[in-house]
Amino acid sequence: MKATIHISLKNGVLDPQGKAVRTALGSLGFDGVGDVRLGKVIELDLAETNRDQARETVERMCKSLLANTVIENYRIDLD
């Protein structure tokens, strides 16, 4: 089973990279871009075949290592 984890910064957490990307887009002539937020995507190949079990395991992975819940949100997709 494949798990895809989307990690994004929480609202209110400064994203200096997002700001730099927004400025760069503006200098390329792309107007009308508001806030830009950068995140990351983590793909995992899992041996687990039970969806509920997989979700529970990945949830624990996120909480213990993959995301820092002080500053980040995460979303898990399984397929």
Partner 1 sequence: MHSRIQRRIPAVKAAIIVFPGSNCDRDVAVAVESAMGTKPYMVWHRETDLPAVDLVVVPGGFSYGDYLRCGAMAAQSPVMRAVKAQAARGTRVLGICNGFQILTEAGLLPGALLRNRDLKFICRDVHLRVDNNDSDFCRRYMCGEVVRFPVAHAEGNYFADDETIRRIEGEGQVAFRYCRRDGAVDEASNPNGSLGNIAGIYDEHFRVLGLMPHPERLADPVLGGTDGKAMFESLVEALS
Phi and psi for 16 in degrees, rounded to 5? -60, -35
Two structure tokens written together for 5: 């984890």
User: Could you say whether residue 70 binds partner 1 (CB under 8 A)?
Assistant: yes
Q: Kindly identify the residues of this chain, within the stretch 9-38, that bind partner 1 according to CB under 8 A.
A: 12-14, 16-17, 20
Asked if 4 and 77 count as a contact pair (C-beta separation under 8 A), the reply is: yes
Choice between 50 and 68, CB closer to partner 1: 68
When binding is defined by CB under 8 A, the residue of 45, 47, 64, 79 that contacts partner 1 is: 64
Choice between 18 and 48, CB closer to partner 1: 18
Asked if 55 and 78 count as a contact pair (C-beta separation under 8 A), the reply is: yes
Would you report the helix, strand and coil content of the chain in percent, each value rounded to 5?
A: 35, 25, 40
When binding is defined by CB under 8 A, the residue of 8, 58, 66, 74 that contacts partner 1 is: 66
What residues line the site for partner 1 (CB under 8 A)?
A: 12-14, 16-17, 20, 64-66, 68, 70-71
